[in-house]
Amino acid sequence: HPDFIHPHGLEGDFFWQQWLNRIMRRSFHHCLALSFRAGKPHGNIRVVPPVISLKILGSVAEKGAYDLCYFLNHGQTLDAIAHYREHPGLRAEVFTDLPPEKVNSEKVNSENVKVQTPHREGFLDAMLTCRRVITTGGFDTTAEAFYLGVPVVMIPTHRHYEQYCNVLDATRTRMAFQLEEMADLVELDFEPAGNGNYRKWVDQFNFVGLVEELVRDAKH
């Protein structure tokens, strides 16, 4: 989509991603582009809001005192755990599939860090009462936090093209903030922009009606 801004410095990744997209698009009449903001159609591309979990739809977050953390990269997870253990004034719930012996290798200030195995329902429950979400560049987690109005701090995995795309797009909404490493979190003072328009777009979008329209169009 011409309105999508791509990250600089990853032009090689951009080329191969676009090449793959063009091949895939030849097989379809229409493409639905998930986005954090509404956009105009372009060719056979329709811009649509994220599909939000039923547990989140209609819910309102109650701001808590802990950070909710999830990273795909184990190295980033360990960096996050070490960061919170070095700053006992901060609290965090960290979701990770790292083995317990790896997580508990450091005992300093561990009382302020709660580590849990990945669990969808548990993660969503935690999102409803957290202070902010600290994550890499996952689309679903960011989209659901935006819906709840929870501040999102994004630390993309180094040279992970799709994450950098998501982070760049998310920060354009002014509901997310990008950091390069966990150490920068200490001095961060970030209040997100209002999420009213985004939440209204998600709530009122008629996916069923759109699909029926596209099916009719494809038959013709």
What was the pLDDT predicted at 36? 92
What was the pLDDT predicted at 11? 78
What was the pLDDT predicted at 220? 66
What was the pLDDT predicted at 98? 85
What was the pLDDT predicted at 109? 43
What was the pLDDT predicted at 47? 93
Q: Judge contact between 11 and 200, C-beta under 8 A.
A: no
C-alpha 41 chain-centroid distance: 23
What was the pLDDT predicted at 108? 46
What was the pLDDT predicted at 173? 92
What was the pLDDT predicted at 105? 62
Provide the token pair at 124: 């969503």
Provide the token pair at 47: 């811009």
Distances (CA, A) of 34 to 16, 49, 153, 195, 207: 20, 5, 20, 17, 12
Alpha-carbon distance of 99 to 80, in angstroms, equals: 16
Stretches in the chain below the pLDDT threshold 70: 104-110, 220
Alpha-carbon distance of 30 to 47, in angstroms, equals: 11
